[in-house]
Amino acid sequence: MQSCIDVLICLSSESHLIKFKAEGIWNYSTMLIRDDLGLLVLGAREAVYALDINEISVSKSKVLWEVTEEKQKECSSKGKHPDIDCRNYVRVLHQMSDGGMYVCGTNAFSPVCDYISYNDGKLKLEGKQEDGRGKCPFDPFQRSSSLMLDEDLYSGTSLNFLGSEPVILRTSPVTLRTVFKSSWLNEPNFIYMDMVPESDDSPEGDDDKIYMFFSESAIEYDFYNKLLVSRVARVCKGDMGGLRTLQRKWSSFLKARLDCSVPEPSLPYVIQDVFHVRHKTWRKSVFYAVFTSQSSSTDRSSAVCAYDMTDITEVFARGKFKTEVSVEMSDVKWVMYNGECINNAARSLGINRTLDLPDKTLQFIRDRPLMEDAVRPITGKPLLLNRGPLLTRLVVDTVTAQDGQDYPVMFVGTGEFSHKPLGQNGSNCHFEANGYVQKAVNYDGEMHIIEEIELFENAEPVDVLRLHQNQLYAGSASGVVQIPVSNCSRYSSCLDCVLARDPYCVWDVLAQQCLRLPQSPVDQKRDLIQSLKDGDANQCPSTGPETKLGILVLGNNIRLPCQPSSNLAQVNWYFAEKPLLYSNEKYTIYKDAILIYNATSSDAGRYTCMSVEHLKGKQFTQTLAIYDLQEQKAPEVMVTIKTTVGKSLDERFTTSSGVHEQEESPSFYKNQSGKSKLIAMQVSLAVLSVLMVCLLFWNFYMGHISPFMCCGRHLIKSTRNLPEMEYINTGNDVMDHKQQMISLYIKTKCDGEAATFHSRPANGDQALDNHVFKYITDESEI
């Protein structure tokens, strides 16, 4: 069961993500890895790209494969959307033995296939079109699966426009397909297929098998509605069909139910994706599968189950068959039937080909393709159970850790999720977001979530996942992302590195870094620390962060950051070595900081931020940050106030290298209390009052304001030698007169003709050399 421990959330803005997107091209849902060419061949809507496998942002070549106007009109005339359905979606892409590639597209609900070559750095569509019915789906959004073996194409899809004729088809010199019977395929949704070399080291001389995974509507259960079940089916690679019965039909087709039961009672979970972890000994191979709930539209949960190859073959080899019988006054019932199929006794009788099988045996196979027993998962229960929106795709990598053991690491893509632990023990998780990849590993039955990585900024579901040489490739509707399977450098301390329990990463004591585990046994002898099963970080050397000196400004709000590396770590703050409580009006403790309000002298001192994590009954404590706040001296107050006004509460920390200024984030201002607003208003009023007093004294000094104004008299400055101006003391003309006087004063001031409160007469008459002030005693005139 899933364990929600040490989950690290990584956003798509991280530099280790490499992206590719072409203008006007959508639905990047088909991938083919060509290691021999160093290419990731990418199939999208009406285009195929050849990308550099090490740097997918580099497109080496592309070829367009568009539908004709005639096909588009024909498609839209049948009721399909011209711009969505009636396009050519590349859904099949396989490598041929000669180095070429086989490609199929929906072609506006008229599937077609062709060949693509890559020569001299260029992709080329050969133009050798073939009918794609039975090889590629008509509907671009219908699930299908295919496999290329020895130039033979195995495919699971539909044979007609309506999608009502499902088929598992082998296109070869001897073409075979399934029978159109509900007991064979009943509204299936094809997921995955692959070959298992069962002929290797087989004492019975067995044939290689092709295994197919799909879901379908069950016909063996009485249910009030359609009940979906998950299936695994198999056919023999050397099957040639029957001579008369099952002519050109599979004579080796058998299927069984896949069980992935969750602890709570529910309807069967429905399979969504499968990954085959191959082993050099095929019997040790494992199939991992993603399932989703069908109980109700509100039950958004998913599970991952693993199936051992030996258990699958056991069900088909020694299992019992279901058969249908008619019961009076009832519909058809399915009961268990004891029967036998081809075995060594048949071979001893000279039956070496399916064409040699007697009709009685072929009729038995035709009527009873379903096995009685279900295939159970390895642990008997899901490895991973997510409460919340759906998991969609997965790949699995096998990692050899420092202890020499191999660990399967799962990368599970999501349609929607986010992290939220459920229950006190955190055994299940809840997810609510799109376009993530979850990285998980199984340690002795305990599923440990290492991290969740956001791939797409637009929250898109992951449509396809591929794994190749420590690189993960994910495709969605709008683009493709390349990401390494691990980025050990994100773990900044030994505690973070060890508690992450990432089998790719170890802590190098000498280098003081979290590094990728060396593959060479010689390099592994260095002083490296890794503890996967126990998560024992006590081996880490005790080191602490550097103490940061800070200036405490009286009356200011102070924010001290402290970012934990684990989402589930508990952050505790200490002041003068005494714990600070979360419930206090003096400060607020956030997940990544503490905010101190209206700082006083008593707040000066040492603040310590520590994280506490609990793992397997052990407690691990780490010091994340230490701050030493010292009260600011008086001469620096004005400078600090100026900085505060200009930068809105400047936060300054001093280290041994100098002074570091850190501006507050927008979220800081949202958290300001009423006290900080009151302080800001008081400072503003004080500054405004000082400015008003200075302005008043300046006007007295310049003579613009007379002491007589206190007695109710207003002094108006006049000028002489302006006979055209009149002094009008009544009516609205007073304001016109005042405006004229002010304008004239400004003009004479600028021309330098009047610099004092006296005016010199033009004729030199001393009698006229007097004050030119006019007093207005009528207040209504002003």
Max avg pLDDT among 380-394, 470-484, 578-592: 470-484
Mean pLDDT, rounded, for 172-194: 95
CB atoms within 10 A of CB 76: 16
Q: Could you give the CA distance from residue 391 to residue 449 in angstroms, rounded to a whole number?
A: 14
Strands (E), 673-753: 714-717
Residue in 255, 254, 250 with CA at minimum distance from that of residue 354:
250
Q: How far is CA 516 from CA 452, 513, 519, in A?
A: 19, 10, 9
Q: Could you give the CA distance from residue 92 to residue 138 in angstroms, rounded to a whole number?
A: 12
Q: What is residue 300's predicted lDDT score, i.e. its pLDDT?
A: 79
Lowest-pLDDT choice from 17-21, 246-250, 623-627, 663-667: 663-667
Which H, E and C letters describe 577-612, residue by residue? CEECCCCCCCEEECCCEEEECCCCHHHCEEEEEEEE
Lowest-pLDDT choice from 203-212, 213-222, 501-510: 203-212
pLDDT over 70 for what percent of the chain? 74
> Which run of H or E residues covers position 18?
strand 18-20
CB atoms within 10 A of CB 654: 14
Q: Does the pLDDT value for residue 105 go beyond 70?
A: yes
Q: Does the pLDDT value for residue 261 go beyond 60?
A: yes
Q: Could you give the CA distance from residue 29 to residue 480 in angstroms, rounded to a whole number?
A: 9
Q: Which amino acid is at 331?
A: D
CB atoms within 10 A of CB 57: 12
Residue in 527, 650, 495, 479 with CA at minimum distance from that of residue 31:
479
Residue in 192, 433, 182, 418 with CA at minimum distance from that of residue 291:
192
Q: What is residue 297's predicted lDDT score, i.e. its pLDDT?
A: 67
Q: Could you give the CA distance from residue 581 to residue 578 in angstroms, rounded to a whole number?
A: 10
Name the CATH topology of 178-284+317-382: Methylamine Dehydrogenase; Chain H (2.130.10)
Q: Which one has a higher pLDDT value, 337 or 351? A: 351
Q: Could you give the CA distance from residue 757 to residue 424 in angstroms, rounded to a whole number?
A: 87
CB-based contact 409:500 (threshold 8 Å): no
Q: Could you give the CA distance from residue 594 to residue 609 in angstroms, rounded to a whole number?
A: 9
Q: Does the pLDDT value for residue 198 go beyond 70?
A: yes
Max avg pLDDT among 296-305, 312-321, 638-647: 312-321
Q: What is residue 521's predicted lDDT score, i.e. its pLDDT?
A: 66
Residue in 34, 126, 56, 41 with CA at minimum distance from that of residue 482:
56
Q: How far is CA 456 from CA 27, 29, 110, 235, 689, in A?
A: 14, 14, 32, 39, 55
Lowest-pLDDT choice from 324-333, 400-409, 601-610, 715-724: 715-724
Helices (H), 450-527: 494-500
Lowest-pLDDT choice from 387-396, 576-585, 673-682: 673-682
Q: What is residue 738's predicted lDDT score, i.e. its pLDDT?
A: 42
Q: What are phi and psi of 114, to 5 degrees?
A: -155, 180
CB-side neighbour CA atoms (13 Å) of 295: 15
Q: What is residue 414's predicted lDDT score, i.e. its pLDDT?
A: 87
Place of tokens 């008003």: 692
Q: What is residue 250's predicted lDDT score, i.e. its pLDDT?
A: 95
Lowest-pLDDT choice from 4-8, 95-99, 165-169: 4-8
Q: What is residue 722's predicted lDDT score, i.e. its pLDDT?
A: 35
Mean pLDDT, rounded, for 325-333: 54
Share the mean pLDDT of the chain: 79
Q: What is residue 334's predicted lDDT score, i.e. its pLDDT?
A: 57
- Summarize pLDDT for 530-574 with one digit per residue, the tens: 999 888 888 888 777 888 988 888 999 999 999 887 777 889 999
| CA 178, chain centre distance (Å) | 39
Q: Does the pLDDT value for residue 595 go beyond 90?
A: yes
pLDDT band at 346 (very low <50, low <70, confident <90, very high): low
Lowest-pLDDT choice from 28-32, 360-364, 523-527: 523-527
Total length of the chain: 782
Q: What is residue 174's predicted lDDT score, i.e. its pLDDT?
A: 87
3-state secondary structure of 645: helix
Q: What are phi and psi of 510, to 5 degrees?
A: -70, -45
Lowest-pLDDT choice from 64-78, 375-389, 566-580, 630-644: 630-644
Q: What does CATH list as the number for 549-672?
A: 2.60.40.10
Q: Which residues pair with 193 in a beta bridge?
A: 212
Lowest-pLDDT choice from 293-307, 370-384, 735-749: 735-749
pLDDT band at 35 (very low <50, low <70, confident <90, very high): very high
pLDDT band at 370 (very low <50, low <70, confident <90, very high): very high
CB-based contact 491:514 (threshold 8 Å): yes
pLDDT over 90 for what percent of the chain? 50
Q: Which one has a higher pLDDT value, 127 or 741? A: 127
Lowest-pLDDT choice from 146-160, 455-469, 626-640: 626-640
pLDDT band at 624 (very low <50, low <70, confident <90, very high): confident
Question: CA 324, 327, 331, 335: dihedral to nearest 10 degrees?
Answer: -30
Q: What are phi and psi of 231, to 5 degrees?
A: -130, 155
Start-to-end CA span in the chain (Å):
87
Q: How far is CA 282 from CA 200, 257, 278, in A?
A: 8, 21, 7
- Summarize pLDDT for 706-755 with one digit per residue, the tens: 555 444 433 333 333 333 333 333 344 444 444 444 444 444 444 444 33
Q: Which amino acid is at 416?
A: E
As a whole number of Å, the CA-based R_g of the chain is: 40
Mean pLDDT, rounded, for 60-86: 96
- Summarize pLDDT for 760-779 with one digit per residue, the tens: 443 444 433 433 333 333 33
- Summarize pLDDT for 677-709 with one digit per residue, the tens: 667 677 778 888 888 888 877 777 776 665 554
Q: What is residue 341's predicted lDDT score, i.e. its pLDDT?
A: 52
Mean pLDDT, rounded, for 209-237: 92
